[in-house]
Amino acid sequence: MLSTSGTTAPALNGPLLRGGSYDIAAAGNRPTLIYFFAPWCKFCAVSSDNLTRLRRLRDDDSLEILTVVLDWKDRDEVRDYVDRHELDLPVVLGDSRVAQDWQVYAFPTYYVLGSDGRIYRRDLGYSTQFGLWWRTWFVD
């Protein structure tokens, strides 16, 4: 995983599942939780509800929550996952370059960026709603 010792986050851009594109450079100056997942990952499936609940606790102005799908076959597979888990968050269609740049080798992988674009927290595997809230709460 990438270092949390003040490392500036790498570039992250790509197409969004529901159309348009995303570029982290244009995201604004606010803390960001980036959740990397794979549609076949059972831990990701259990974690995705916690992301939805976190969105209810933290509004979009205080925390950007972004999901990035990796290791997927086609848009239908991703769309089915998103619909099944009622994931109402932006989904970037990532690729092997994104996985390599962000050093994502297992799922789910989380990074929390401060408003300065630096990595302050990181984690791998299942996280509870409280765990996600706690990781993002003290980041500005």
Cα–Cα nearest to 65, from 99, 94, 91, 98: 91
- Does the structure show a pLDDT above 80 at 113? yes
8 secondary structure, DSSP code: B
The whole-number average pLDDT for the span 87-115 is 96
- Does the structure show a pLDDT above 80 at 93? yes
Instruction: Output the pLDDT for position 58.
Output: 87
Q: Where are the domains of the chain?
A: 13-137
How does pLDDT run across 33-89, given as a tens digit for each residue? 999 999 999 999 999 999 999 998 888 888 999 999 999 999 999 999 999 999 999
Instruction: Output the pLDDT for position 140.
Output: 73
Instruction: Output the pLDDT for position 50.
Output: 94
State the SS3 of 30-85. CCEEEEEECCCCHHHHHHHHHHHHHHHHCCCCCCEEEEEECCCCCHHHHHHHHHHC
- Residues 14/22, Cβ–Cβ less than 8 Å: yes
Q: What is the mean pLDDT of the chain?
A: 93
Instruction: Output the pLDDT for position 6.
Output: 81
Q: What residue has token string 């003040």?
A: 6
How does pLDDT run across 7-39, given as a tens digit for each residue? 899 999 999 999 999 999 887 788 999 999 999
Instruction: Output the pLDDT for position 125.
Output: 95
Instruction: Output the pLDDT for position 95.
Output: 97
Instruction: Output the pLDDT for position 5.
Output: 85
Instruction: Output the pLDDT for position 71.
Output: 97
Q: Is 73 exposed, middle or buried (0-12, 13-18, 19+ CB in 10 A)?
A: exposed
CATH number of 13-137: 3.40.30.10
